[in-house]
Amino acid sequence: MQTKFSPAQLADPHIETANGILRACVHCGFCTATCPSYVLLGDELDSPRGRIYLIKDMLENERPASAKLVKHVDRCLSCLSCMTTCPSGVHYMHLVDHARTRIAETYVRPWPERLLRALLAVVLPRPSLFRLALVGARLARPFKGLFPGRLKGLVAMAPASVPGPSALDRPQVFPAQGVPQRRVALLTGCAQRVLRPAINEATVRLLTRLGCEVVVAEGVGCCAALVHHMGREAETDAQVKANIAAFERVMEGGALDAIVVNASGCGTMVKDYGHVLRTEVAWAERARRVAALARDVSEVLVELDLGTLVTPDKPGIDGEPPVVAYHSACSLRHGQKITKEPKRLLADAGFEVREPAEAHLCCGSAGTYNLLQPELASALGARKADRLAATGAQVIATGNIGCLAQMTGAVGIPVVHTVELLDWAMGGPRPPELG
Amino acid sequence: MRMPEPDAAVLARRGDIIEQLRAIVPGEGVIVDEDELRAYECDGLTAYRQLPMVVVLPETTEQISRVLRYCHETGVKIVPRGAGTSLSGGALPVADAITLGLGKFKRILEIDYENRSAVVQPGVTNLAITEAVEHQGFYYAPDPSSQIACTIGGNVAENSGGVHSLKYGLTTNNVLGVEVVLMTGEVLRLGGKHLDSGGYDLLGVITGSEGLLGVITEVTVRILQKPETARAFLIGFPSNESAGDCVAAIIAAGIIPAGVEMMDKPAIHAVEDFVHAGYPRDVEALLIVELDGPEAEVADLIARVQAIAEETGAVTIRISQSEDERLVFWAGRKAAFPAVGRISPDYYCMDGTIPRRALATVLKRMAAMSSHYSLRVANVFHAGDGNLHPLVLYDANEPGELERAEAFGADILKLCVEVGGVLTGEHGVGVEKRDLMGVMFTEDDLKHQQRLKCAFDPDGLLNPGKVYPTLHRCAELGRLHVSGGQTRFPDLPRF
Ligand SMILES: Cc1cc2nc3c(=O)[nH]c(=O)nc-3n(C[C@H](O)[C@H](O)[C@H](O)COP(=O)(O)OP(=O)(O)OC[C@H]3O[C@@H](n4cnc5c(N)ncnc54)[C@H](O)[C@@H]3O)c2cc1C
Ligand code: SF4
Ligand code: SF4
């Protein structure tokens, strides 16, 4: 596509990157059809091609973000379905990330919106604060009518019970069982370990059983995706750098084979660290190195021989092999292009795996999207719930905490993380959600 | 390419027009801000761009009918738009016109397996129809490469075809009925679930009318049972000529493959980088030949096609071993145009049809033109029915390249007509081939075609500036529209 940047504009590395992305777009429109917001709204402005145009216009003319542009970019889930569809290799993710930074710099949101965003940016990445907030929200639930606007939604969304902190959250090393085969670091995440500590626990049991030494590193916090998707550049850079430094300290104690991520939203982010810090000479190479080590837990597991460990009397629900609907998180499917591994692992572990129709469409969770765009998020959630229910499965497995939280309660079928089922098949506890 | 001069009087009424539209379509369905209109400034043909005066996104047929009636009564032009994937600029906005988007018409209304038909709204994508019926073993046959995104309304308007049209026909052979809103706001239903209706074939008139006669608001399509088996060949050749010979020999042997597609080397490489379909990179031309039908018949045809391929000099021959593999073979072909976006920032996709025997000559002359214009060309086409899609590669950021690409494209189309072919196979005339219509039709032919247009839209309000190089006043063509002693719109633009 034609662009109109001046040489002076192109001297800015961000604009140069954006220009490269825009020029790859041939305006074929293929991406519109698989974009959840376009599917719901039918307005090209809420499609990837439309957003690309809006962003191009803003960047070329060096205009501050307009209210209209912000509206349409805010409706983007960053599900990256458009990147899977685009035959021309347009890197929409980097373009929209840059647009979000521009929005944060040049657009003043109405104050309730600003407050909500600031609140989320502070609370969600900090497990102790988040836990406190959830407990508070649960207590506040009877009074939710008193809360204004979207805070009401937040309060309503708090789970019925908030698990306590897990012993696993502290920095420590879990030795491999048997002959050590790999040394990996586990990103324990932020929101996930508050909402469902069982996921990290199952991951550690699985990995150590398969011969991995698992390090929970000191100083590793939120992956920074939360603030990154809100365009908060300074906070993003700070969190990313802290994580890089922390992983480097682990590597000083011995080489790492992988940084295992079991929340795919975080995985997509960590894999992109190299891009985030590409313009900072002191950090670019270090960021690339850490990013190159990041692997989704399913990628690591398929390389380890799981088959031998599956217990002979495979798990069952009422004596039958459980039927699992695999819900592929967008960050795994589109962000990391991992589609087959989790299904294969589940099938190898003895589950009957089904996939819902419209598997490529986002469930509406999308990080903080369900909090910031509740209407679209719940429309997508309901649509996904219908498709999942139609599979006739007894349990839903997914690889991302956001989807797990979004789908829990919406379908009427228990929702668990893929590793929880795998761990169960290999002698771990039966996920309590299965009753 | 020139578009009609905008009517200053209409532009001056913009505020009022917006207000009237808002009264018909509430909420976010009326788009007026410049930065938002920008996203609607072109379709799949990015060389031509124009901001629409307003965009309106109605949700019901009734709203469309009221919008059209309002436009009819007050002389406002209107451009229908589906998914905006047209490659001929059919959905290109007009400065003093409303762009009417059908993106909200996404519902599948009825699936009737007994009558092998489905009733859908016009904004449903081509692929979504197949997806809705495939669990029962059915599909919708015409499959444009853009099927993931293009709408059935757009398909009817362009009479689109696909790789399987060789055997199963174009859109026109697979549409049973439509509901269409005329410029007056009148809602007309044509056809139904049956094959033929009494009277003139108005359904045939609407199909391929490029948004010039009415707005399609519902489509009844025929769905087919999936063939028992389908296998696809990948056949590589050392030259375009030998690939062309192979196609001719297959057809001459009385075999009707489900599809025969050809790609030349630049296209093969661009596609292989994206899809990794396993296309051979060291051949000059690649054929994808699909055979379908009952198991035994397909087995027999495979042997015959293989023999023909060997005789005509194929250097690589592969046959799909599984359904997944067959789909991967096609995935490459379907993504071919945009995949070319990887080797060139812009492309100009041509769409001419030639008699199959002229293939080698045309390709050779095209190669000569390519060096004359110093522009690369990648070729992807429906070889079975002689429908060429040369992609002229250019860089819109380089001054002069677009103009060279346009001239190159025009030369290609003239060449198609010269060897006995036609200007378009399936992408429509739009604005792209409008000024070349004279190469193919005489003034008389064009006048006759426009008389039909006059019968539906005497004031020339629907999708103006498209298809016809000169807009004749309907009065001139012998059908008088005089009000108050004056022809209507005496200042109607001519261009
Ligand atoms: C990469 C690529 C590959 C393609 N491959 C093919 C191919 O293989 N075969 C093929 O035939 N085409 C192909 N096309 C062209 C294009 O996809 C088709 O012409 C398609 O039918 C257009 O549908 P649309 O919904 O995008 O319509 P639009 O582009 O929005 O509109 C096309 C025309 O139809 C009119 N129109 C749209 N909807 C309506 C309606 N409801 N009522 C009245 N008029 C309407 C518009 O006014 C316009 O004139 C390709 C395009 C691209 C970008
Ligand atoms: S990331 Fe998802 S929501 Fe955003 S434009 Fe792409 S497909 Fe649409
Ligand atoms: S699919 Fe890719 S090239 Fe086509 S419009 Fe979307 S982003 Fe652009």
CA dist., res. A337 & res. A283, Å (int) = 26
Count of pairs with CB atoms under 8 A, one residue in A, one in B: 121
pLDDT at B359: 82
Find the mean pLDDT for residues B46-71: 96
Q: Which residues contact B135 (CB under 8 A, 6 or more apart)?
A: none
Q: Which ligand minimizes its atom distance to the CA of B149?
A: 1
Q: What is the DSSP letter of B5?
A: P
Find the mean pLDDT for residues B339-362: 85
Find the mean pLDDT for residues B360-370: 89
CB A343 within 8 A of CB A326: yes
Asked if residue A20 has pLDDT above 90, the reply is yes
Check the CA dihedral A222-A224-A226-A232 and report its sign.
Answer: positive
**Which residue CA neighbors atom 21 of ligand 1 most closely?**
B155
Other Cβ atoms within 10 Å of A374 Cβ, number? 19
All domains of chain B, ordered by start, with CATH? 8-101 (3.30.43.10), 108-225 (3.30.465.10), 229-337 (3.30.70.3450), 344-436 (3.30.70.2740), 447-488 (no CATH)
Asked if residue A192 has pLDDT above 90, the reply is no
CB B378 within 8 A of CB B267: yes
| Ligand 2 mean position, distance from CA A75 (Å) | 9
| A421 or A320, which is more confident | A421
In the numeric block, the tokens 């070319």 are attached to B340
> Please, how many CA atoms are within 13 Å of residue B126, restricted to the half-sphere of its CB?
28
Cβ–Cβ below 8 Å for A57 and B35: yes
Integer angstrom CA distances of residue B22 from A67, A106, A164, A253, B55: 20, 31, 53, 67, 11
Cβ–Cβ below 8 Å for B35 and A69: yes
Nearest chain B residue to A68 by CA distance is: B36
Nearest chain B residue to A39 by CA distance is: B106
Asked if residue B480 has pLDDT above 60, the reply is no
Find the mean pLDDT for residues B46-57: 95
Is residue B457 very low, low, confident or very high in pLDDT (cuts 50, 70, 90)? Answer: very high
CB B281 within 8 A of CB B354: no
**Interface list for A 71-110 with B (CB within 8 A):** 72, 85-90
Is residue B271 very low, low, confident or very high in pLDDT (cuts 50, 70, 90)? Answer: confident
Per-residue pLDDT of A401-418, as tens digits, reads 999 988 988 888 999 999
**Phi/psi at A109 (nearest 5 deg)?**
-75, 155
Point out the residue among B28, B41, B146 whose CB comes nearest to the CB of A30. B146
pLDDT at B492: 43
Per-residue pLDDT of B220-266, as tens digits, reads 999 999 999 999 999 999 998 899 889 989 999 999 999 999 999 88
Asked if residue B471 has pLDDT above 80, the reply is no
Ligand 3 first shell, C-beta below 6 A: A 25-31, 48-49, 52, 82, 85-86, 88, 90; B 338, 341
Q: Which two tokens stand for residue A221?
A: 């916090």
Is residue B472 very low, low, confident or very high in pLDDT (cuts 50, 70, 90)? Answer: confident
Mutate to test the pocket of ligand 3, among A21, A23, A27, A83 (most ligand atoms within 8 A of CB): A27
Q: Which residues contact A156 (CB under 8 A, 6 or more apart)?
A: A141, A144
pLDDT at A155: 66
Cβ–Cβ below 8 Å for B28 and A3: no
| B360 or A344, which is more confident | A344
Asked if residue A270 has pLDDT above 90, the reply is yes
Asked if residue B106 has pLDDT above 80, the reply is yes
Other Cβ atoms within 10 Å of B221 Cβ, number? 26
Q: What is the mean pLDDT of chain B?
A: 90
The secondary element (H helix, E strand) that includes residue B141 is none
pLDDT at A144: 62
pLDDT at A167: 79
pLDDT at A169: 79
Q: What is the mean pLDDT of chain A?
A: 90
CA dist., res. A387 & res. A390, Å (int) = 5
Is residue A165 very low, low, confident or very high in pLDDT (cuts 50, 70, 90)? Answer: confident
Work out which ligand 3 atom sits closest to the CA atom of A85.
1
Asked if residue A383 has pLDDT above 60, the reply is yes
Check the CA dihedral A53-A57-A60-A62 and report its sign.
Answer: negative
**Which residue CA neighbors atom 8 of ligand 2 most closely?**
A35
The secondary element (H helix, E strand) that includes residue B221 is strand B215-222
**Which residue CA neighbors atom 35 of ligand 1 most closely?**
B211
pLDDT at B170: 94
Find the mean pLDDT for residues B404-427: 91
- The response to whether residue A85 sits with its C-beta less than 6 Å from ligand 2 reads no
Asked if residue A310 has pLDDT above 80, the reply is no
| B209 or A188, which is more confident | B209
Is residue B493 very low, low, confident or very high in pLDDT (cuts 50, 70, 90)? Answer: very low
User: Percent of chain B having pLDDT more than 90?
Assistant: 68
pLDDT at B210: 96
**Interface list for A 35-64 with B (CB within 8 A):** 38-39, 41-45, 49-50, 53-54, 57-58
Asked if residue A386 has pLDDT above 90, the reply is yes
pLDDT at B484: 42
Cβ–Cβ below 8 Å for B101 and A32: no
Asked if residue B477 has pLDDT above 90, the reply is no
pLDDT at A313: 64
Is residue B482 very low, low, confident or very high in pLDDT (cuts 50, 70, 90)? Answer: very low
- Which residues, listed in sequence order, are joined to residue B264 by a DSSP beta bridge? B285
Helix axis angle for A149-157 and A127-140, nearest 10°, is 100
pLDDT at B246: 93
Asked if residue A312 has pLDDT above 70, the reply is no
Nearest chain A residue to B335 by CA distance is: A87
Asked if residue B465 has pLDDT above 60, the reply is yes
| Ligand 2 mean position, distance from CA B150 (Å) | 18
Q: Which two tokens stand for residue B254?
A: 């009385």
Find the mean pLDDT for residues B51-77: 97
